[in-house]
């Protein structure tokens, strides 16, 4: 659809050629790429009517300022990085990057979190030997593959889990369970609650909550950095994440001083440009952001040329397309025909709840029950084709798992799309299998994201 919008902008002379000439590279190559992406062709690919695409392109070009906010989601497709790359070209064609309120924004984290010195926190200079970084989005493969999902190297035999509940939150969750059931893997979970993942652990260690630890907190929806004061001391034997790692380092006989830095040192070195004392006094500070609200207003971008690259030598060298293009996901309606024949419905797993955070607190009596429980939501047309009625129990399946859920028929989804709300624990599902039992753990084409929104399933009445 974005390619077709650019086609319309160029065709109908709605571009800002002066801005393109001054601040971009590769316009003629992009122009050639989108020449065949008519609104009619895009409508066949994405299901949005051609006249709607055309009108959207005209509105985008003529209603000023024009800002695009993506939030979280588009990157969780097999070609999610390409989506964001393509989207960033729209304000380049219209010059909207120059305007206050124009351009593209994913979240404010790019401005708040730029105050962190990541290397000071992760200390890559301390790495020794043949250490590996394994992408947790493929945790099922990591825990079950003889080379931890890689081409070579050892299997994983020890697993320390903190700050997450991957049996619920990570794609291909049934494969993760298989890995955690291995007799030759030692699993430690550092947690506040006995989560579904903690139930697979050999040892569960108690973790502090937010009210038991000092911390620096970066906002998602605003440009503020906040200070979190501990309200109470840690309860029982609970310890914070840094304290756990300090104790582990000591127990394992390590002597590197950086492994024993206290929280004060970690905060000061991890955010060296922050006035930590001032932050403690005011409890919040604004992140550095241009006063005129135009971070790219002068057309200065973080690229080798300083321009926005509509055609990219760097991405081409990585094996990616030189210009924005469309490649249908393998596990999607326009992907592998054999897969689509078996599983014709696209699954979404949105955050539907209002009373718990991700998977946190959904097991508590004042939080989870008030949301009513998980379900499979689908359009009336898809329900009728499968003889499903509202409230009936259905099975949802693909090659990864089968999940049982009550049916919810609504008008929110278009035919061909179903949704299962994400975040419920195993205890909330009739068969103990959460939404991520079904989801795709394929990594995105670059950037290390995961394509859980490119998941195909079939639905039928439970017999």
**Beta strands at 224-228 and 215-218: parallel, antiparallel or unpaired:** antiparallel
Whether residue 431 sits in one domain with residue 343: yes
Q: Which residues contact 28 (CB under 8 A, 6 or more apart)?
A: none
Whether residue 256 sits in one domain with residue 277: yes
Whether residue 356 sits in one domain with residue 262: no
Whether residue 266 sits in one domain with residue 133: yes
**Domain residues for 268?**
117-286
The CATH number of the domain holding residue 406 is: 2.40.40.20
Whether residue 146 sits in one domain with residue 44: no
The answer to whether 307 and 24 have CB atoms below 8 angstroms apart is yes
Tokens 């989207």: give the residue: 87
The CATH number of the domain holding residue 273 is: 3.40.50.740
Parts of the chain with a pLDDT under 70: none
Whether 329 is in a domain gets the answer no
Whether residue 143 sits in one domain with residue 32: no
What is the Cα–Cα distance from 42 to 49, expressed in whole angstroms? 8
Whether residue 69 sits in one domain with residue 135: no
Number of domains comprising the chain: 3
Whether residue 304 sits in one domain with residue 383: no
Q: Which residues contact 206 (CB under 8 A, 6 or more apart)?
A: 190, 191, 192, 235, 236, 237, 238, 239
CB atoms within 10 A of CB 117: 13
Task: Give the pLDDT confidence score for residue 346 in this predicted structure.
Answer: 97
Question: Taking the model in full, what pTM does it have?
Answer: 0.93
SS3 label, residue 10: helix
Q: Give rounded-to-5 percent helix, strand, coil for the chain.
A: 35, 15, 50
Whether residue 397 sits in one domain with residue 354: yes
Whether residue 421 sits in one domain with residue 376: yes
Q: What are phi and psi of 130, to 5 degrees?
A: -95, 60
Whether 277 is in a domain gets the answer yes
Task: Give the pLDDT confidence score for residue 110 in this predicted structure.
Answer: 82
Whether 442 is in a domain gets the answer yes
Whether 322 is in a domain gets the answer no
What is the Cα–Cα distance from 388 to 378, expressed in whole angstroms? 10
Whether residue 312 sits in one domain with residue 270: no
Whether 328 is in a domain gets the answer no
Burial of 72 (0-12, 13-18, 19+ CB in 10 A): exposed
The answer to whether 39 and 51 have CB atoms below 8 angstroms apart is yes
Whether 364 is in a domain gets the answer yes
Whether 332 is in a domain gets the answer no
The answer to whether 350 and 421 have CB atoms below 8 angstroms apart is yes
The CATH number of the domain holding residue 6 is: 3.40.228.10
Cα of first residue to Cα of last residue in the chain, in angstroms, is 40
Sign of the C-alpha dihedral, residues 61, 64, 70, 75? positive
Nearest partner of 331 among 80, 119, 36, 77, judged by Cα? 77
Whether residue 248 sits in one domain with residue 125: yes
Q: What are phi and psi of 339, to 5 degrees?
A: -70, -40
């Amino acid at each position: 659809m974005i390619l077709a919008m650019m086609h319309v902008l160029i065709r109908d002379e709605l571009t800002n050629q002066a801005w393109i000439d001054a601040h971009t590279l590769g316009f003629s190559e992009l122009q050639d790429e989108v020449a065949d992406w008519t609104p009619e062709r895009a409508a066949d690919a994405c299901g949005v009517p051609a006249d709607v695409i055309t009108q959207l392109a005209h509105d985008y070009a003529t209603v000023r300022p024009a800002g695009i906010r993506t939030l979280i989601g588009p990157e969780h497709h097999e070609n999610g990085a390409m989506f964001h790359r393509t989207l960033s070209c729209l304000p380049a064609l219209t010059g909207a990057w120059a305007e206050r309120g124009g351009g593209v924004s994913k979240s404010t984290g790019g401005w708040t979190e730029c105050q962190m010195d990541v290397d000071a926190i992760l200390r890559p200079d301390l790495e020794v030997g043949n250490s590996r970084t394994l992408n947790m989005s493929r945790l099922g493969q990591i825990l079950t593959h003889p080379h931890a999902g890689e081409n070579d190297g050892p299997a994983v035999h020890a697993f320390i889990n903190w700050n997450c509940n991957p049996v619920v939150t990570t794609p291909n969750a049934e494969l993760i369970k298989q890995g955690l059931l291995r007799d030759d893997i030692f699993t430690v979970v550092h947690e506040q609650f006995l989560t579904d993942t903690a139930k697979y652990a050999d040892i569960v260690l108690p973790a502090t909550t937010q009210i038991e630890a000092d911390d620096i907190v970066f906002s998602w929806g605003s440009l503020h950095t906040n200070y979190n004061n501990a309200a109470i001391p840690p309860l029982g034997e609970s310890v914070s994440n840094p304290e756990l790692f300090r104790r582990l380092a000591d127990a394992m006989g390590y002597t590197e001083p950086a492994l024993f830095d206290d929280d004060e040192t970690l905060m000061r070195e991890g955010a060296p440009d922050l006035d930590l004392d001032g932050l403690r006094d005011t409890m919040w500070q604004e992140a550095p952001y241009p006063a005129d609200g135009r971070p790219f207003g002068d057309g200065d971008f973080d690229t080798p040329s300083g321009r926005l690259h509509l055609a990219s030598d760097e991405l081409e060298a990585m094996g990616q397309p030189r210009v924005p293009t469309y490649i249908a996901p393998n596990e999607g309606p326009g992907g592998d025909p054999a897969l689509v024949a078996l599983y014709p419905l696209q699954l979404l797993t949105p955050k539907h709840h209002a009373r718990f955070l991700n998977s946190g607190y959904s097991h508590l009596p004042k939080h989870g029950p008030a949301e009513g429980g998980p379900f499979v939501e689908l359009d009336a047309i898809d329900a009728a084709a499968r003889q499903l009625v509202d409230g009936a129990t259905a099975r949802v399946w693909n090659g990864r798992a089968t999940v049982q859920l009550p049916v919810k028929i609504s008008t929110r989804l278009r035919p061909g799309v179903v949704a299962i709300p994400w975040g419920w624990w195993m205890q909330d599902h009739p068969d103990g299998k959460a939404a991520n039992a079904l989801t795709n753990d394929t990594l995105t084409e670059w950037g290390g994201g995961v394509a859980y929104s490119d998941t195909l399933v079939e639905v039928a009445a439970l017999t």
